[in-house]
Structure 1
Amino acid sequence: MNFLRHFHQALVVLFALLNGMMLYLFLLNLPYGLDLFLATFRKWQALSPQAGYAMGFTVVLMGMAVFTLRRLDDQWKNRLLFFRWSEPHPARDAFLSTRRQPFGSAELLSAFPKVKDAGFDPGIQVESWERAHQRHAANPVVLNTEIHWRMLRDLYVLGLLFLIVFLLGWLAKAGIPFQLVATYVFLFGAQVLFLLLAARRLGFRLVDNVLGVELGLGE
């Protein structure tokens, strides 16, 4: 577990560095590319003081982004992921879902009668799921899915923070040619969209895996 925790942290830092590199090149009005990034250090004197300002800003931003990510609790991360303020957990509709699940709804509700008695209240659904999760958190299938979900969720939140800063920077740099901006719009936007969909999907899979184990499907 210590290895996975350190790997998670290293992945977050690496992702922040990659996004910081993109933002740094954008602030210098340069196209995206590793060669151009390295060339800015060879041409540092010619690009000064703009290069220094851009580098200082991105380094501070990377540190603040990673710090903010670590300070956010699961509730806030889920709000950003599912765009819901109240009960943003993926299990809020676990017992009343239109998704295809690996078990029948009748079997599920018979194992959790409290959910139906409460009128499928989202809070009760989350509470019931959390209890099942506590019982099976050490199950290899559940544990593996949860680790990957938390990684993807953190990368999504981090990517979202950089996307917001990029959009604000784009507004501040009015007049910059769109041909140059288009690449960064695609890179920042595509990664956030991909991570959004992937993290949501894995979150729902975690919910189903816990319920499946609770119903004995993996035995």
Structure 2
Amino acid sequence: MALSIAIAGATGKLGLPIVMAPLAAGYHVTAFTRQRCNNASKLLTRSNLSVIEVDYSSIQSLSTPLKGHAVIVSAPTSTSVDDQIPLIDDAIKSRVTKFIPSEFDNIATNSKGDQLPMFEGKVKTHPYLEAVIAKNPDFSCTVICNGAFLDCGLDSFLIDDPRHIATVYNSGDIPFTATRLDIIGNATVGVIKHLFETANRPIYIQDAVVTKNTDRVR
């Protein structure tokens, strides 16, 4: 019997491809959407997909939806990332065995990255997860570290395609890793297939190593 996977932030830019990957792999997926946001229409109807509206800040709202799930993937928007604590608490209560936190575009083991204001909400989750895991040996987490979202970068911080311009930082020759959103979805499935091997460790993935050298910008 295939495992059941719960995905928070399921209708966001990252959440949608993370939903599609385990569905394609044959898992049953429960997609959590925020109450009164009317975002469920973004999800295609599938026999192995359930959609539930929840209040991420309320344990009471999450208790019933999480029961029976082996894995929860947290992929909320940056403005909602602070709501991971109730998810973790109820994952423990509901006997979820694996939590994949919303770290994707951050390198959790990089102390310099942790100092950036945009990662403040994610950083607060680190010590809380460590404390919870220490008290609950049957519960684990896996951080998927993928660097920049390549899809988003082609529309914003890498290239402004409509205006045919790119902002070059430093020399433009410093390589950095980037990953397409669907590859992150595939990596999530890989973690689900290897729950024991990936327990309490970061997994590093990349789709491309790129630079912003102006000679390569078209």
TM-score calculated relative to the size of structure 1? 0.27
Report which structure shows greater RCO (CA 8 Å, sep ≥6).
1
Greater Rg by CA? 1
- Identify the structure with the greater strand proportion: 2
Larger relative helix fraction: 1
